[in-house]
Amino acid sequence: MINKILIANRGEIAIRVVRACRELGIKSVAIYSDEDTQAMNVRLADEAYHIGPSNPSESYLRIDKIIDIGEKCGADAIHPGYGFLSENSDFALACKKSGIIFIGPSSETLELVGDKMRCKAMMKKAGVPVVPGSDGTLEEVEKALDLANEIGYPVLVKSAYGGGGRGIRLANEEKQLRQEFEMAAMESKSAFGRSALYIEKSLSKIRHIEFQLIRDAEGNSLHLFERECSIQRRHQKLIEMSPSPAVDPETRDRIGMIATKIADISDYLNAGTAEFLRDDDRNFYFIEINSRLQVEHPVTELVTGVDLVKLQIQIASGKTIPFKQSDLKLNGCAIECRINAEDPLSDFVPSFGTVPSCVIPYGPGIRVDTYLFPGCRVSGYYDSLIAKLLAWGRDFDEAKGRVKNALNEFYVEGIQTTIPLYKTIIDDPAFIIGDLSTDYLDRFKIFDKVHIMAKEYMKKNVDAIVATALLHNVLVKRGIDMQQKTNKRSRWKEKGTFAQGLNYGI
Ligand code: ADP
Ligand code: ADP
Ligand code: MG
């Protein structure tokens, strides 16, 4: 029986978990760093404890401190969210040792799937299709060169412990592979503490398609269909949707079954994701398991009606999954845009500070998971994700129309966001016909289109300033207080920055 859950995370996902606890009548406990004293999850949780300085290594990544708070406040379970310690087998083990339920897989499973190379080799042995590449980690560059000659360039150098798009390097020929291998070894060592590298054939014109998994302690293994996550920058997802325009019902069943088999092989417990790449010849290749709740889990919630966080808590408390595979139906279409505090016009440079005001959209079919509120802080210490904008529709067109409305209504003052980029994508012909691939942004020169949109905004802005000046003259002549009368008409003038104006659609 779980009565109290400590949420070992921050931001929108911490709020998401508080809400699930509330619905289930479970007490929730927040932890917060110096930077997050005023955060929304801290205000919403039943209890909140300070964990340390803003730097994650001194707060949200401190296993000892978190377990200590968990024990002192009497938490029965810990929900790790995503990122931070969510896939850390030592953390799961520490929870177990102190008698606290870790809401996720066992530490053994986390260790297995956390080593991407080992996991891939195990799945290959079991007949799961994987991307051609090394069967184990490569200690020396000479071995990598031999293998690259065998499978053919281009190849990717990957870190066995990489994640969040980090630790992946492309090599088109021998000399480059030597350089990248060396760089990757150093990077992997400093970022993940270990330099285990492997290589993989770099596939071209691919889609990233993943399956949501759920498995209980009795071994019931189900999939909740796919999510298409091909719109990415630097191997990180930006827009996700379900269903994928590239998956027909037969493929959904076939790959879904492979995904549930992957969960069985790794003795998986709770919610997870099996990630695949799909090439132009419709072949699917397994790449990794994400052993946690996924950022984009609400996409699946909208098309299946299943609350994944509540289900996670129920499975962690020993309950079996209350439905069968055949009970699940994929209903309509859901699209998610990850709103990041980054400037899409300047190579996604992070943008942070206080948000004096914001307008969060709503309306038919709209869901926004966010930690924003007027006056909140967007910190440079943490992940740049500030909100997830989701729309559900009976079909893709309806969902797309709703996302577009919501993007036009979404306003975040004081920082740059990825909203202008999504406004461009949502009207892009390739996006509309579902011609997606992981190089989508480059292939369709999306950034050129964002810049054109920005220029049009500038032009409109200049016209507006001229119009306002003319109006000013007329009004002054009439002896009327110009300020009052023009405020409404020159809305764009007050908006300050360029990208903010774009956020407003003017
Ligand atoms: P998702 O599909 O859930 O977004 P990601 O692989 O992008 O999966 O990771 C989710 C979150 O966890 C992101 O916020 C990412 O920055 C973070 N993350 C994942 N793995 C790592 C890692 N090894 N090091 C640092 N951050 C990570
Ligand atoms: P991470 O653990 O960082 O999420 P993944 O292995 O899941 O790393 O890959 C992240 C992204 O990198 C994929 O969605 C895809 O865009 C790209 N990628 C990974 N492997 C390959 C490959 N073999 N060929 C081409 N692109 C790949
Ligand atoms: Mg991945």
Pocket test of ligand 1: the residue of 82, 213, 238, 241 to mutate, having most ligand atoms within 8 Å of its CB, is 82
Q: What is the pLDDT of residue 135?
A: 87
In the chain, the largest separation of any two C-alpha atoms, in whole Å, equals: 84
Could you tell me how far CA 491 lies from the centroid of its own chain? 33
What SS3 state is found at 91?
helix
Q: Determine whether the shortest distance from the Cβ of 205 to ligand 2 is under 6 A.
A: no
What SS3 state is found at 4?
strand
Query: Which residue is closest in CA terms to ligand 1's atom 7?
Result: 164
**For 335-481, where are the alpha helices, taking DSSP H only?**
396-409, 419-426, 429-433, 440-443, 446-478
Non-local (6+) Cβ contacts of 235 within 8 A are: 165, 168, 438
Token pair in block for residue 82: 């995503």
Q: Which residues' Cβ are closer than 6 Å to ligand 1?
A: 82-83, 163-164, 166, 236-237, 290, 294-296, 383
Q: Determine whether the shortest distance from the Cβ of 208 to ligand 2 is under 6 A.
A: yes
Q: What is the pLDDT of residue 194?
A: 80
Query: Which residue is closest in CA terms to ligand 1's atom 4?
Result: 295
| Number of other CB atoms surrounding residue 130 within 10 Å | 20
The number of the ligand 2 atom at minimal distance from the alpha carbon of 165 is 3
Pocket test of ligand 2: the residue of 119, 198, 200, 235 to mutate, having most ligand atoms within 8 Å of its CB, is 235
Non-local (6+) Cβ contacts of 186 within 8 A are: 195
What are the chain's domains?
Answer: 4-103 (3.40.50.20), 132-201 (3.30.1490.20), 207-451 (3.30.470.20)
Token pair in block for residue 466: 């001229």
Closest alpha carbon to 325 in 224, 226, 243: 224
Q: What is the pLDDT of residue 49?
A: 98
Q: What is the pLDDT of residue 499?
A: 45
Closest alpha carbon to 244 in 369, 330, 309: 330
Token pair in block for residue 210: 């993943």
Measured in Å, residue 232 CA sits from the centre of ligand 2 at 10
What SS3 state is found at 393?
strand
Non-local (6+) Cβ contacts of 451 within 8 A are: 345
Q: Which residues are catalytic?
A: 292
pLDDT tens string, the chain, 506 residues long: the values are 899 999 999 999 999 999 999 999 999 999 999 999 999 999 999 999 999 999 999 999 999 999 999 999 999 999 999 999 999 999 999 999 999 999 999 999 999 999 999 999 999 999 999 999 998 889 899 999 999 999 999 999 999 888 888 889 999 999 999 999 999 998 888 887 788 899 999 999 999 999 999 999 999 999 999 999 999 999 999 999 999 999 999 999 999 999 999 999 999 999 999 999 999 999 999 999 999 999 999 999 999 999 999 999 999 999 999 999 999 999 999 999 999 999 998 899 999 999 999 999 999 999 999 999 999 999 999 999 999 999 999 999 999 999 999 999 999 999 999 999 999 999 999 999 999 999 999 998 888 888 888 777 767 766 555 555 444 444 444 444 444 444 444 443 333 444 444 444 33
pTM equals 0.90
Does residue 228 contact residue 243 with C-beta atoms inside 8 Å? yes
Neighbouring-strand partners of residue 5: 28, 77
The torsion of the CA quartet 174, 180, 186, 190, rounded to 10 degrees, works out to -150
Which residue type, as a one-letter code, is found at position 278?
R
- Quickly tell me which residue has 């461009």 as its tokens: 424
Q: Determine whether the shortest distance from the Cβ of 168 to ligand 2 is under 6 A.
A: yes
Does residue 423 contact residue 239 with C-beta atoms inside 8 Å? no
DSSP 88: -
